[in-house]
Chain A
Amino acid sequence: MMRRRTARGVSFLELLVTIVIAVILTAMAVFVLGPRLQNQRLQSVTDAIELGLQKTQLQAMRQARAWTFALDPANNRYTMFAGLPAALPVNAEWVVLPATAQQVQVVAAGSTFALDNNRYVVTFTDQGFVSALGRLQLLNQGNNQLQTQVQINQLIGVVEKRCIYEGNIQGPERCV
């Protein structure tokens, strides 16, 4: 019985066709998903910073007082606190970003938020507005083509992210 069943196996041609199809499908998947996987780390850092800024703004509006967001690129972390940048508490609680500085880098040349003691700071007013516009530019160290920006380009303080693929800037809806 066993012999019969094993004898009824697949032919070499069938096996070949199956393997070829599997190879083509895998190649397509790698082609489509590869850049996305590479980009994922960059996106998660960008999202974390965007969320941090939005939380800071919300906090300022809730408490009706100025709140500051501070990003410490050297130590790969950010924090938020009530008051102006000088009011950074000694025992501030820092949020660590989901990638190391070696993996995702803050590009100083493309970042225009104010610098305070090597930290990028953004202060929201009690209404959630900003007095100075700016942005942060992030670079995936593994792949120079992939960059993102977190920007505040309106005085009302809208926090937006943008993606840059090979020099082409895409709106938030186009970020992978």
Chain B
Amino acid sequence: MRMNLRSRGGYSLLELLVAATAAVLVGTGITVGLVNFSQRNIRETNVDQEQINLRRALHYIGEDFKSNVYVYPTALLPNRVPTFSDGGAVVPVLGFWQQNPVTNRFEQVVYYSMSPPAGSSLFGPRLVSRLVVTFDAASNPDADNNRFLSSTEAEASVPTSCTVAAAVVCTVSPFGTPPASLSVFNSQALVDRLSTDGAMTAAVISNTVLLTMTADSNDLAGNSLLSDIEKGQLRQQLSTSMRNR
């Protein structure tokens, strides 16, 4: 009996409805807040990660660049390095010669700014890739054999008419030797998720190279997820010196 009485003295439907509505409103508020917070958190983590990636990529090029023996002036680049065909809008940004410490042969190293090749696992919208062209002993670009590359030697030693896709294809060799004398490693992506607006630039000024990289973060539809302030945080520079003789 007592139980019955107590259960009869419960809440009315109206009271329940009011309580439920209030609970839904408060719950919605909390959920929206949490979702916003976590989205913001994800964005900040992404921006942090992009900044780290940019620094590491610039550091990679800086280390690679230490062994340069000749750096191409920017204006000369497009006609002096292999042409790429396995990606969209491939632009050579930085090209230099180095000497392989093991084989003592000269190698041409080129950094390209490009869009992700079809079917690749890269996001883009732009990325930087690295290509190394090794020349065999018969096609040594060091014509006078003084173990240094002069600008004349370096600029004359060009794998002209080469197209690099899955493998290098050269119709003309600058050394009068067959294209087989070139051993080309496939290009490899250095860093992904760069901006369409100046993914990487290299300004060659007297004996210094100023590298600038800009990252971006896109959704699957290709729209940028970043605000202008965040975009500003994702531009980094590195200055390094060259040893042209």
Contact = CB atoms under 8 A, between A and B. Distances in A.
Interface of A: 1, 127-129, 132-133, 135, 149, 151, 153-158, 162, 169, 171
A154 B193 CA distance: 11
Contacts of A154: 53, 57, 122, 127, 189-192
B123 A158 contact: no
Contact of B60 (A1, A149, A153, A156): A156
B60 A129 contact: yes
Contacts of B127: 154
B121 A155 contact: no
Interface string B97-133: 0000000000000000000000011110001001000
Given A171-B123, A171-B220, A155 B188 contact: yes
Nearest to A169: B121
B226 to A, nearest CB: 16
List the 8 closest pairs (A to B, CB-CB), nearest first.
Answer: A156-B56, A155-B190, A153-B121, A154-B189, A156-B57, A154-B192, A154-B191, A156-B191
A153 B220 CA distance: 18
Nearest to A129: B60
20 contacts: A127-B60, A128-B56, A129-B56, A129-B60, A133-B188, A149-B121, A151-B121, A153-B120, A153-B121, A153-B122, A153-B189, A154-B189, A154-B190, A154-B191, A154-B192, A155-B130, A155-B189, A156-B57, A157-B56, A171-B123
A127 B121 contact: no
A158 B193 CA distance: 12
Nearest to B127: A154
Nearest to B1: A1
Contacts of A133: 188-189
Given A127-B63, A129-B60, A153-B189, A158 B53 contact: yes
A149 B191 CA distance: 19
